[in-house]
Amino acid sequence: MHETDIHDLSDDADYAVASKQGSSSMTCGDSSKQSSSCDPEDAEIVYSKDNVTIHPTQYAAERISGRLKLIKQGSSLFMTWIPYKGQSSNARLSAKGKNLYTIKSLPFSDIQSIRRHSPTIGWHYVIVVSSGLAFPPLYFYSGGVREFLATIKQHVLIARSSEDANLFLVNNFQDPLQRTLSSLELPGSLSNSTPSSSGSPSDGNLENKHTSEDGHLSSMQQNNKQRQKIHDPARDISIHVLEKFSLVTKFARETTSQLFRESLVDGHGPNEKRRTNWASKDHQSQEIASNDVEIVPKKVPVPSDPLEFDKLSLVWGQPRQHPLGVQEWSTFLDSEGRIVDPNALKKRIFYGGVQHNLRKEVWTFLLGYYSYDSTYAEREYVMSVKKSEYETIKNQWQSISPEQAKRFTKFRERKGLIEKDVVRTDRSLSFYEGDDNPNVRLMHDILLTYSFYNFDLGYCQGMSDFLSPILFVMKDESEAFWCFVSLLERLGPNFNRDQSGMHSQLFALSKLVELLDSPLHNYFKQNDCLNYFFCFRWILIQFKREFQYEKTLRLWEVLWTHHLSEHLHLYVCIAILKRHRAKIMGEQMDFDTLLKFINELSGQIDLDPILRDAEALCVCAGENGAASIPPGTPPSLPIEDSSIYHQQDDEVL
């Protein structure tokens, strides 16, 4: 294949072309008012554009071109994209393969956001996010992005994000959660958000959860401080959304079930007591007023658990064992240091965890830093090579001069964000406490080096929560870095800019609850809780805020074994919910009450019974449970010899 088949990108001044074409881009047969034979009789085509193309791969021969339409039917607007038939250039793709990308009558009530991309070189394109998932980018080969957005604005309430000029928010008034987030002007919750430059006024939005207990701002006051344009398009907003939840005040009663009263992110110290004060004095008075109205929750009959959960864990959930010790660990190694039976080792760790003084050695295997069949000598060599590789990557940012940094906006922004986060991550732990702590500096260097190792993902808030325990255990900069890299190969999708990784896990959780406890699932459905956003923090940072530090380490090493399932964390979520199902359903908790209740469980969950329950649920679900989890749902096992972060050499960056 010729090189042009891969690159095949040319300048496309979309706005210039669009301005010349004017309304000519909106055509359909003889008139934009006409309907095609394939459209409903009462439908009106308000926009039609040919040569809108999807790139399934980096190869030009596999691109799929089609026609994009906006169709008005009654008061509703729909979007369709239909691939052309009989394209010789796409012979490598079957008709079935093309149909996978077809967009048929997508209602704008299901669309959350539209992101416009305007590269200096190449075609302009848009990414449509619907129900938390992003469609493949739509490339406009002959311009027309501006008219596309302008037409939408004529028929749907669409607003440009105050924080990102290329992000357009679409209000979905049929979805209570979307309605609430739109009312709060939380663009990050729909797609991606971006960090502010170091020292800019918008830095305040990163520090809300760390303000003094007397200094919280109301949501409207805080939003007014965030009007400045922010530049980094790679910043994920998962934590940003959670922080915003703490700033919500009461809206009208019809949206109450979707309001988030309390922050899902309270502070980075794992042993810190939960803060119970609200976002503002007004919020406090509203909560008091609410308590005055309903002091004692009404109790209603609770449907029985279809699995008889109390008995289930006794049948299938095996008792927890003592942690793996040094002497027992040696029995898993042969004379040259190889793990004789990796599955037996994983099973042993699954049921008992690892003694802390042994974690440094064992975690390197669980996280994939060393292979199970490596010898002592091979591991020494790998450590030497990886240390050298780490120093090479680290030197890339260390060698940036102040003059270069002035012209390197993304570097300054990420560096500033990391500097803010590391000084407030787990500082109550002796390993990180005190001024000028060298371990805090190590965490800073590792995170900044990672942003250069994986420049596409960069740094996102929440990553320091993952690195902190790893550095605490490894106590070595290079080894901690590579273990962190391996962990993010599994959990990196949690920080996807469109939140597709998180939404896929929440979707899988919904399906598993429906399978294992249909009455509880139906209750969540009736109370607008089916998005399972109250479990967002659990999944995002793997329960790090729910347990004491030592318990978190134990839970993580159990999850990393993938002994019964690589998605055991979802069964842990269900185990916690089922432990409290009688209270949740008996007190008829709506979304905001449920969210508050879930937050207050932090530090009160007994790990060992939950792990036993999660095991029982996983065994009970069996193949039906595995089938309920869509393929590719994080955290998946690392891809052998092909890290998800290693781009193909011939891919256009």
Residue-wise pLDDT tens digits, 291-337: 444 445 556 666 666 666 555 555 556 778 999 999 999 999 999 99
What is the pLDDT confidence band of residue 592, given thresholds at 50, 70 and 90? confident
Long-range contacts of 118-127 (CB under 8 A, 24+ apart): 118/14, 118/145, 118/166, 121/9, 121/10, 121/11, 122/9, 122/10, 122/11, 122/12, 122/652, 123/9, 123/12, 123/14, 123/53, 124/12, 124/14, 127/191, 127/498
Which pLDDT score is estimated for 205?
A: 38
Residue 260 three-state SS: coil
Q: Which residue has the higher pLDDT, 443 or 295?
A: 443
Which pLDDT score is estimated for 245?
A: 39
Helix, strand, coil in percent for the chain, rounding step 5: 50, 10, 40
What is the pLDDT confidence band of residue 422, given thresholds at 50, 70 and 90? very high
Contact 554, 607 (CB under 8 A): yes
CA distance linking residue 363 with residue 444, whole number of Å: 21
Which pLDDT score is estimated for 198?
A: 37
Which pLDDT score is estimated for 405?
A: 92
Max Cα-Cα span within the chain: 82
Question: Structure tokens of 173?
Answer: 């008034």
pLDDT digits (tens, 9 = 90+) for 499-553: 778 888 999 999 999 999 999 999 998 888 888 889 988 999 999 989 999 999 9
Token pair 């496309």 in the structure block, residue: 12
Residue 643: count other Cβ atoms within 10 Å of its Cβ.
Answer: 16
Which pLDDT score is estimated for 93?
A: 54
Mean of all residue pLDDT scores within the chain: 74
Which pLDDT score is estimated for 40?
A: 54
Kindly give the pairing relationship between strand 111-117 and strand 125-130: antiparallel
* Region 622-631 average pLDDT: 88
Residue 341 has pLDDT above 90, yes or no: yes
Which pLDDT score is estimated for 617?
A: 92
SS (H, E, C) 631-650: CCCCCCCCCCCCCCCCCCCC
Q: What percent of the chain has pLDDT over 70?
A: 65
Question: Structure tokens of 260?
Answer: 């988030």
* Region 246-263 average pLDDT: 32
Phi and psi of 50, rounded to 5°? -90, 165
Q: Which residue has the higher pLDDT, 262 or 55?
A: 55
Contact 186, 169 (CB under 8 A): no
Residue 346 has pLDDT above 60, yes or no: yes
Helix (H) or strand (E) holding 76: strand 76-83
Which pLDDT score is estimated for 78?
A: 92
Kindly give the pairing relationship between strand 103-107 and strand 111-117: unpaired
Residue 131 has pLDDT above 90, yes or no: no
Residue 63 has pLDDT above 80, yes or no: yes
What is the pLDDT confidence band of residue 259, given thresholds at 50, 70 and 90? very low
Instruction: Please report, for residues 501, 509, 615, the alpha-carbon distance to residue 630 in angstroms, rounded to integers and kept in the order given.
Output: 11, 11, 20
Cα dihedral angle (171, 174, 179, 180), rounded to 10 degrees? -170
Residue 630: asked if its preceding bond is cis (omega within 30°), the reply is no
Contact 235, 458 (CB under 8 A): yes
Which pLDDT score is estimated for 313?
A: 52
Helix (H) or strand (E) holding 471: helix 463-474
pLDDT digits (tens, 9 = 90+) for 195-212: 333 333 333 333 333 333
Contact 466, 592 (CB under 8 A): no
Residue 572 has pLDDT above 80, yes or no: yes
Residue 613 has pLDDT above 70, yes or no: yes
What is the DSSP track for 7-60? -------HHHHHHHHGGGGS--TT-TT---TTS-TTEEEEEEEEEEEE-SSS-G
Q: Where are the alpha helices (DSSP H) in 496-548?
A: 500-516, 518-526, 536-540
Q: Which residue has the higher pLDDT, 93 or 416?
A: 416
Which pLDDT score is estimated for 210?
A: 39
Cα dihedral angle (475, 479, 482, 485), rounded to 10 degrees? -10
Which pLDDT score is estimated for 637?
A: 57
Which pLDDT score is estimated for 132?
A: 57
Predicted TM-score (pTM) of this structure = 0.57
